[in-house]
Structure 1
Amino acid sequence: MSEVQSYMDFVLPLVLESGKELLTVKNIISEAKNGNDWDVVTIYDRKIENLLIDKIKMKYKDHKFIGEEESAAKNTISTLTDSPTWIIDPIDGTANFVKQMPITCISIGLTINREQVLGLIYNPYMDELFTALRGQGAYLNGNRITTSGETKINKCIFNYELSLAAHDGRLRELYMSRLTALIDVVSGIRSYGSAALGLCYVACGRIDAYQCDGLYPWDAAAGTLIVREAGGYVIDSSGKPFDLMNPNFLATSTETLSQQFMSIERSVDVSRLNINEKTV
């Protein structure tokens, strides 16, 4: 058994246990104090993240962690090093979680020598477990998965996380200019509200492409590896190589499809920047 496989075997039961914890939440709003349902989300975020980190630390004392709640507590994101590092999102799709939409998951990625080597995403509501080890393929509930293999943008179902543009003027301009260019080109547009599951849906062929900007490492650490291991293609939204610690990404079923998106978007981005320069 490989070292990374032993890590997967250890953490998998912990994630399944954490998933059961999510299923105990029946009505977040009724649990909320002072009408603040996000207080309850934070409680469950911390509870699950602490459960995972504490048990992994007991087994692997030299491992490091980058987690959503851990980073919030320190008000900074730890630097990624060569040490084995678990990158954890205890509840991805928090708005869905609040509304009890079954598009919510627990996401864990592992890096060694700054390379992604393990990805595990579990949606307890649908009982769907997506896993991948570097160089060994991607799986859904133990069955091998591959992307759709779609190569034509006009036949593409495209997931674009528009909600992220709501509170950031820079992202709003970026998202809307690209959306305007793509809406008449792609076959259909979706927005699921979970970065991790959106990536999994590319990996298993439910959608053909997914683009997202303005994320954090824990949003993409597991899912981008799963896409690649399923035969998909992941790059930075700018067309540069994907950077896990600054994860703006375009994930597609094929490199050919990625190139078509980039051709359209680069033209749009250049036009947008030229307009901005003229108005300054």
Structure 2
Amino acid sequence: MANGVQEYLDFVLPLVKDAGKELVSAKDYEVEFKGEDFDVVTIYDRKIEDILIKKLKERWPDHKFIGEEESYINGVSELTNSPTWIIDPIDGTANFVRGLKDSCISIGLVINKEQTLGVVYNPFMNELYTAIQGQGAFLNGNRIVTNGATDIKKSVLNYEISLAVSSKYYELYMYRLKHLLKHIGGIRSMGSAVMGLCYVASGRMEAYQCDGLYPWDAAAGVLIVREAGGYVCDSRGGEFNLMDPNFLATATKNLSEKFMEIERKADEERENNRIKERKFQI
């Protein structure tokens, strides 16, 4: 298996780097919206995804594919035991269109329903993150590990609060934020789920959290965090589910438990207030 995965990595790396050149040179493009006012897409999202999938299909025609733009139109397929490439052509498109550098190309490979390979490339910072299951995580070829943090009071949380603009997630995010701010050392919101995960893996952040995402937001980054020694769980409690990713990623399991204890109290308060409101309406 290991030799086969290395072959996949060796093949996909030049594709990712070529796609990065397309991003860096992008100009004069229109911005479109995909339903929500904050969910933007450009021709480069579609162009890069098409290029990557086309090349991979030519090399491995029996493999399966899940891509952000393709899946938005056609629906997300369920995972099978077949090798499945999960692609986000531009994670952080809202950053990209504003000239901010926190955006990247993300490719994950799942085999037998297990995250096996992760590649994340930020061409604006010339940062290439890679991981193969069981072989560690790397940044530009150098081994990376999380910073090993366990003290929540000294931890900086990268919290994707921008999703709170959606009415579906507003209460969830705001209740948790209210509770977390009393205990953490700082907060950031970077606008890219994949980069947020990689920042935990490389030790730049102690924790990253985002709810309401899609497989392509987590297929590469979650593996990179785990291979760097970090911990990822479902923010609702329980095991992380790639096909329904609501995740908390932390430098250590110990730190995750401290975050989750606080968030469970926030979720309980939110539910109790909902019950009170329903009783009042009756």
8 Å CA contact retained: 1:41, 1:98: no
Aligned partner of residue 168 in structure 2, secondary structure: helix
8 Å CA contact retained: 1:148, 1:208: yes
Which of 141, 151, 175 aligns to 2:173? It is 175
The 2-side partners of 1:8 and 1:2 are apart by 10
Q: Report what 1:11 is aligned to.
A: 12
Q: Is 1:122 matched with 2:121?
A: yes
- Counting matched residue pairs gives 272
8 Å CA contact retained: 1:37, 1:98: no
* TM superposition outliers: structure 1 runs of 4+ over 2 Å: 36-42
Q: Report what 1:189 is aligned to.
A: 187
The 2-side partners of 1:170 and 1:198 are apart by 22
Q: Report what 1:96 is aligned to.
A: 95
Counterpart of 2:234, as a letter, is D
Identical pairs, percent: 62
Counterpart of 2:124, as a letter, is Y
RMSD across aligned C-alpha pairs, in angstroms? 1.3
8 Å CA contact retained: 2:29, 2:42: no
Q: Report what 1:202 is aligned to.
A: 200
Unmatched 5+ residue regions in structure 1?
A: none
Counterpart of 1:10, as a letter, is F
8 Å CA contact retained: 2:29, 2:43: no
Aligned partner of residue 170 in structure 1, secondary structure: coil
The alpha-carbon distance between structure 1 residues 19 and 177, as it changes in their structure 2 partners (threshold 3 A), is same
Post-superposition Cα deviations, 1:67-86, rounded to whole Å, max 9, x if no partner, equal 00111221x11111110000
Q: Report what 1:78 is aligned to.
A: 77
Counterpart of 2:239, as a letter, is P
> What's the CA shift for 1:274?
1.1
The 2-side partners of 1:209 and 1:72 are apart by 28
> What's the CA shift for 1:38?
5.4
Q: Report what 2:63 is aligned to.
A: 63
Which of 250, 254, 264 aligns to 1:252? It is 250
The 2-side partners of 1:42 and 1:13 are apart by 23
Q: Is 1:156 matched with 2:155?
A: yes
> What's the CA shift for 1:211?
0.6
> What's the CA shift for 1:207?
0.3
> What's the CA shift for 1:212?
0.4
Q: Report what 1:274 is aligned to.
A: 272
> What's the CA shift for 1:100?
1.2
The 2-side partners of 1:55 and 1:249 are apart by 31
Aligned partner of residue 61 in structure 1, secondary structure: coil
Post-superposition Cα deviations, 1:166-218, rounded to whole Å, max 9, x if no partner, equal 02x23110000000111121110000000000000000000000010010000
> What's the CA shift for 1:31?
3.4
The 2-side partners of 1:181 and 1:91 are apart by 32
Post-superposition Cα deviations, 1:32-55, rounded to whole Å, max 9, x if no partner, equal 3xxx56599431111100100000
Counterpart of 1:261, as a letter, is F
> What's the CA shift for 1:268?
1.3
The 2-side partners of 1:103 and 1:19 are apart by 13
The 1-side partners of 2:237 and 2:145 are apart by 23
Unmatched 5+ residue regions in structure 2?
A: 35-39
* Superposition TM-score, scaled by structure 1 size: 0.95
Which of 254, 260, 263 aligns to 2:261? It is 263
Aligned partner of residue 88 in structure 1, secondary structure: strand
Post-superposition Cα deviations, 1:214-263, rounded to whole Å, max 9, x if no partner, equal 10000010000000000000000012100000000000000000000011
